[in-house]
Structure 1
Amino acid sequence: MQYAAITDRLADTGGAKWAIHQRCREMKREGADIIELTIGEPDLPPDPQLFEVCHRSMIAGRTGYSSGRGEPELLEAIAARYARRRAGVDTSNVMCFPGTQTALFATLMGLTGPGDGVLVGDPFYATYEGVIRASGAHRESVPLKAENGFRLSAEDLEAAITPKSRVLLLNSPQNPSGAVLSAEEISRIGAVCKAHDLWIVSDEVYEELVFDGVFASPFDDPALAERTIALSSISKSHAAPGFRSGWAVGPREFCEKLLPLSETMLFGNQPFIADMTAFALNSDIATSKQMRTDYKRRSNLFADRLEALPGLVPYRPQAGMFIIVDVSATGLDGESFAWRLLEHGVAVMPGSSFGENAGNLIRLSLTVPDEMVEAACGRIAAFVEARQ
C-alpha cells in the first residue's frame, strides 16, 4: 500500500528519540528500581483551584464544541497577558491550541513548505525535527556553543542563513540547556531576522521558570511585531501538561491565514479546559514560583555533586527543568553513557535526541524530590568511578 510523503519525512523523528525513557518505564513496570530523570513532567500537581474550576465548568455543561480560534474568555485572558508586554495586542492576535506542540505544528505548517529552511539552535528540543519536516521544510542548524553558555548568537545565526531560510525557531529559555537570552542578545538576533526577512517563531513555554533575572522575548519589541509569533501553554508554568492547553500570539494577518488550517485540524481546546486556563492566567497562583525555587536548588545539587566526578562537566541552567552534562571525558558519548547508566538504576536522556551538537551530552530532569537527586548522584558516582 502507498502512504503520503509526510510519513516518510517523519519516519525517524518519533519514539526512537525516547527509547531510553520507554525502556525505563518497562523496567519500572517489571519492578526495577529506576530513578527516572528523562522527561520534563512537573513533580508538583496543578493548583487545586484549577481542578475546581474545571469541574464546575463541566458540571455547568461546558462540554460542547469550541470555537476554532478559542473560547472568548480565554482569548481575552491571553490577549491581556501579551498586551502587558507589548501595546496593541487584542484577541485578533491570538489562537488557542491543545498545547504548545500543536501550536508549533500548525504554525510551521502555515509558514513553511517543501524546500524551505527553518533555522534552529542545536542542541534543540527533540520534537522540533518533526514539526519542521512535517511541511516538507528542512532544519538548518545554528550551533549553540558551550563556551557561549549554549545561547544563540547573532553572528552564528547570520553564518547559518541560506537562500532557503524562511523561519527562525527560537527557544528561550532553552530546552535542553536552560540557557536564557538577554534583551540585548535578542535585539541583535532580531536585527539579523529583519535583514533577511525571516519569521521568528518564539517557543516560550519556560517563560515563568527563569531562576534569576528577567525574561526577554522578540515579541516584546514593536519593531519585530510583524514577524514574531510567540507560543506557550500552561503545561510548565502551571504544572498541567496533561490538560493540553496552549496558544499562539502573532500578527492579525497570521491568525487569519492560519485559522482555516487550525479548523481543519481541530476546533480549539475543550471549553472546560479553556475556562480553567483563563482562570489560571487571570489568577495569582504560586506554582511556577515554587518550581523556580525547587529546580534552581536541584540544579545546583546536581552540579555540585557531578562536577566533582571524573569526566563529567555539568552546565548550570538559568531556567527550566533540566541540567545537561558533558560526559565525553569518560570515554563515552551521551548515548552509550545513558544506556549504561540505565543498568545502574538511573534513566537520563542522551544528547543525541537533541541534535548533532549534543552527542556528548546527557540531559537530566530536575522534576524529582531532592532525596532522589541525591540518590541519583550516588548511583552516577558509583557508575563513573567503577570505570576508572
Structure 2
Amino acid sequence: MHYASITDRLADLGSEKWEIHLRGREMRALGKPLIELTIGEPDVSPDDRLLDACSAAMRAGRTRYSNGRGEPPLLAALARKYTRRSGREVTERNILCFPGTQTALFAVMMGLVEKGDKVLMPDPYYATYEGLVRGPGAELVPVPLSVANGFHLRPQDLEAAIVPGCRVLLLNSPHNPSGAVLSRAEIEAIGEVCRRHDLWLVSDEVYEELTFGADFASPFDIEGLADRTIVVSSISKSHAAPGFRSGWAVGPEEFCRRLLPLSESMLFGSQPFISDMTAYALTHELPTAALMREQYAARAGLIVERLDGVGGLRALPPEAGMFVLLDVSGTGLDGLGFASRLLQERHVSVMPGSSFGEAAKYLVRLSLTVPDEQLAEACDRIASFARGINTRSERMAS
C-alpha cells in the first residue's frame, strides 16, 4: 500500500528519541526503584483557581465547537499580554490559538517551509524540533552552540551556517536543554543577521516565566524584528498545566491570515473550556511560576554542588528552565552510553544528549521536576556510578 512521504521523513523521529525514558517507565512498572529525570513535567499542580475556572466553564456549557482562530476571551487576554510586553498594539488578528506549543510549531513550520527549504537551528535543540523541520520536507541546518559560550547563539556562528535556501531561524530562549537566556542585545545582533538574509524568526518562548535572574527578551518585542517574528508559547510550563494543551502563535497579521486556513484544516478550534481557563491564567496573578522558579533554581544548585567535578562529570548551570546539563565526556562515555548504563546499573533515567542534536553527544539532561529528596538521592546514585566508571578504567589501565 502507498504511504505519504512524510511518514518516511518522520519515521525515526518519534519515540526513538525517548528510548531511555520509555525503558525507565517499563522498569518502574516492574517495581524497580527508579528515579525519573527525563521529561519536563512540573511536579507542582495547577493552581486550584485554574481548575475551578475550567470546571465552571464546562458546567456553563463551554463544551461546544470553537472557531479556527481562538475563543474571544483568550484572544483578548493574549492581545493584552503582548501589547503590554511589546509596547505596541497587538490585536486578535495577530494571534492564532492551538492545543499546545508543539501543535503551534508544527502548523507554523508547515506554513513557512517546504521541500527544498532549510531551517537554521541552534544545536543542541529540543528533541521534537527536527521533526518539525522534516515534516514539511525542509532540511535542518544546525548552528553549533558552545559550552564555552554558555550555549548562547552568536551572530557570527549564525552567519557562518547560512547556506542557499535558508528561510527560517528557529530560536528557543530560554533554551531547552541548556537553560541559556539570550539578552536583548544578543537578539538584536542575531536579528540583524536575519534581516540581511531575509529569514523568518520563529521564537519558542515557553520558558519565558522560568528565568533565574537573567532578563527575558524576545525578538517580537524589538520593533525592527516584529515583522519577521512569530512567537509560540503556552501555559504548559508557566502554569504547570502541560496536560491541558493550550498554546498559541503570535505574529504579523498577514502571516496569521495565511496560516488560518491551515489551522482550520488541522483542528478547527481548541476546547472553549480550556481556552477560558487559559484566559484566566493570563489575566490573574498566580504564584505557580514564582514557586517553580524558586524550586528549580535551588535544585539546579543542588546538582551543581553534588556532581560538578565528581568522577569526571561537569555540571553546566542553567539560567532558566527546568533542566541541568551534565558533560559526561570525562567519564570516557558519550551521553547515550552514560544514560543507558546509569539506567541499568543505578536505576536513574536521564535524557542522552544525542536526543538533542550532534552538539550534545557528550551531554545528558537532568530534569529538575522531582522532589528535593529524590533529586538528592539521584545525585548520589549518579556520583557513585561516575566514580565507579573511573575506578574500573584505572584498574584496567594498571
Aligned to 1:249: 250
TM-aligned CA deviation for residue 349 of structure 1 = 0.2
Aligned to 1:374: 376
Give the TM-score normalised by structure 1: 0.99
**Identity %, equivalent residues:** 62
Deviations 1:199-222 (Å, cap 9, x if unpaired)?
A: 000000000001103100101001
Query: How far apart in 2 are the matches of 1:41 and 1:85?
Result: 27
Contact 2:177–2:323, Cα closer than 8 Å, also in 1: yes
Aligned to 1:327: 328
Asked if 1:6 corresponds to 2:15, the answer is no
Query: How far apart in 1 are the matches of 2:323 and 2:288?
Result: 17
Aligned to 2:338, the other structure's residue is in SS state helix
Aligned to 1:361: 363
Aligned to 2:89: 88
Query: How far apart in 1 are the matches of 2:370 and 2:69?
Result: 36
Aligned to 2:195, the other structure's residue is in SS state helix
Query: How far apart in 1 are the matches of 2:214 and 2:122?
Result: 22
Q: Which runs of 5 or more structure 1 residues have no equivalent in the other structure?
A: none
Question: For the aligned residues, what is the CA RMSD?
Answer: 0.6
Aligned to 2:85, the other structure's residue is in SS state coil
Contact 1:176–1:324, Cα closer than 8 Å, also in 2: yes
Aligned to 1:168: 169
Aligned to 1:18: 18
Query: How far apart in 2 are the matches of 1:235 and 1:61?
Result: 24
Aligned to 2:278: 277
Asked if 1:348 corresponds to 2:350, the answer is yes
Aligned to 1:150: 151
Asked if 1:77 corresponds to 2:85, the answer is no
| Aligned AA (1:74) | L
| Aligned AA (2:290) | K
**Matched ranges for 1:308-323 at <5 A:** 308-323=309-324
Contact 1:173–1:319, Cα closer than 8 Å, also in 2: yes
Deviations 1:206-251 (Å, cap 9, x if unpaired)?
A: 0000110310010100111110001100000000000000000000
Query: How far apart in 2 are the matches of 1:240 and 1:228?
Result: 26
Aligned to 1:170, the other structure's residue is in SS state strand
Query: How far apart in 1 are the matches of 2:42 and 2:275?
Result: 21
Query: How far apart in 2 are the matches of 1:294 and 1:47?
Result: 16
Contact 2:181–2:214, Cα closer than 8 Å, also in 1: no
Asked if 1:33 corresponds to 2:33, the answer is yes
Deviations 1:334-371 (Å, cap 9, x if unpaired)?
A: 00000000021110000000001100000000001111
Deviations 1:309-352 (Å, cap 9, x if unpaired)?
A: 02101100000000001101101000000000002111000000
Deviations 1:252-288 (Å, cap 9, x if unpaired)?
A: 0000000000000002210000000000000000100
Aligned to 2:264, the other structure's residue is in SS state helix
Contact 1:99–1:247, Cα closer than 8 Å, also in 2: yes
Aligned to 2:224, the other structure's residue is in SS state helix
Query: How far apart in 2 are the matches of 1:83 and 1:268?
Result: 23
Query: How far apart in 2 are the matches of 1:104 and 1:178?
Result: 20
Aligned to 1:22, the other structure's residue is in SS state helix
Deviations 1:114-157 (Å, cap 9, x if unpaired)?
A: 01000000000000000111100010000111110011110100
Aligned to 1:227: 228
| Aligned AA (2:65) | Y
Aligned to 1:384: 386
Contact 1:169–1:200, Cα closer than 8 Å, also in 2: yes
Contact 1:70–1:267, Cα closer than 8 Å, also in 2: no
Give the TM-score normalised by structure 2: 0.97
TM-aligned CA deviation for residue 373 of structure 1 = 1.1
Contact 1:114–1:136, Cα closer than 8 Å, also in 2: yes
Aligned to 1:125: 126
Aligned to 2:120, the other structure's residue is in SS state strand
Deviations 1:64-104 (Å, cap 9, x if unpaired)?
A: 00110000000010111000122021111000000000000
Aligned to 2:56: 56
Aligned to 2:139: 138
Aligned to 1:281, the other structure's residue is in SS state helix
Aligned to 1:208, the other structure's residue is in SS state coil
TM-aligned CA deviation for residue 382 of structure 1 = 1.4
Query: How far apart in 1 are the matches of 2:371 and 2:269?
Result: 35
Q: Which runs of 5 or more structure 2 residues have no equivalent in the other structure?
A: 392-398
| Aligned AA (1:368) | V
Aligned to 1:211: 212
Aligned to 1:111: 112
| Aligned AA (1:205) | V
Contact 1:202–1:218, Cα closer than 8 Å, also in 2: yes
Aligned to 1:189: 190
Query: How far apart in 1 are the matches of 2:242 and 2:314?
Result: 30
Query: How far apart in 1 are the matches of 2:166 and 2:310?
Result: 42
TM-aligned CA deviation for residue 47 of structure 1 = 0.2
Contact 1:9–1:134, Cα closer than 8 Å, also in 2: yes
TM-aligned CA deviation for residue 25 of structure 1 = 0.6
Query: How far apart in 1 are the matches of 2:192 and 2:85?
Result: 20
